[in-house]
Amino acid sequence: MLFGEYAVLAGAWACALPVKFRQNLEVLVTPGDGKVQWQSFDFDGKEWMNCQFRMQDDPSEMLSVLRPLRQMLDFIAAQKPDLCGELCDLQVRIKASFRKEWGLGSSSALIANLARWSGIDPFALMDVSFPGSGYDVAAAFHDQPVLYRLDGAERVIEPLPVLPGFLEDYRVVFLGKKVNSRDSVSDVREAIDQLAVFSNQLNQWALEALEASVAEDFNRAMSQYEQLLSQVLGLTPTGNQFPEYQGFMKSLGAWGGDALLAEYHPGDFEAVFGHLTSFKLAEIARWP
């Protein structure tokens, strides 16, 4: 999410950039008695989840990490019992091409893949498992940046044909500290509602950033955007962790973890962020 964190829940525009990394889903369905074998693998082939459960099991007694998975399977089974349910066994394998601690939307990618496999509406699957704004689910179905906005019960999605060219060389820095977006939103839920009165101003800064012809204009608009969010939400921008870096920085995703966007200054960037994983924005994002 280039901008719109937290504010998208108050009706402001968000800009989402699909990433080039992928998550693959394989599902083998066989006649059975509702047994589910679930395996998840990191980008290097390391297995980080291996579990079994039955569709008849009491969800309240399952591990918390499994409940969203079970909720999606229950939803699919209710609409397509021949695809999964108490008369089927499922073997599910997930392989990601990125580190899960990078926070690149592993949940939204899973929702999108299960939706493609089952033919079920992805936002309906999201609502029963990982409820949120849905911007990341929308991005999972596009190969270019999108603008995304909640308008009451409607979702407005507009493909972005172009982004400012100078952003290609900006860096996405992964901080190695995964922050749960749902928990982060829950912590400031009441304050997010107060953002609604500022949505027009936030959208104006977002438009100025997208139409900027030079980096200074983009940086100024996004800094104003972030400052307003900080004041209303009472949150500290992620970039404040690196006061020694004099270049522009912006929080990405849930503040305090995951990642940040930084304007690239040779030498200074390496001195501050050289110990962390980083990519050019155009290397990681599906660029228009």
| Averages of pLDDT over each 10 residues, the chain, 288 residues | 94 94 92 93 86 89 87 94 88 86 76 96 95 93 95 94 95 82 74 92 97 98 97 94 96 86 97 95 90
pLDDT given for residue 256 in this prediction:
80
Strand order in the sheet with 88-96: 23-31, 88-96, 35-41, 47-54
Which pTM value belongs to this model? 0.89
* pLDDT of res. 179: 65
> What confidence score (pLDDT) does residue 66 get?
86
* Distance of alpha carbon 226 from alpha carbon 240, whole angstroms: 12
Fold of 162-284: Alpha-Beta Plaits (3.30.70)
Domain locations along the chain: 23-135, 162-284
* 62: its two tokens: 């399952």
Alpha helices by DSSP H, listed for 119-180, are 122-129, 135-139
Side-chain-side CA neighbours of residue 41 (13 Å): 13
| Cross-strand pairs, 259 | 174, 252
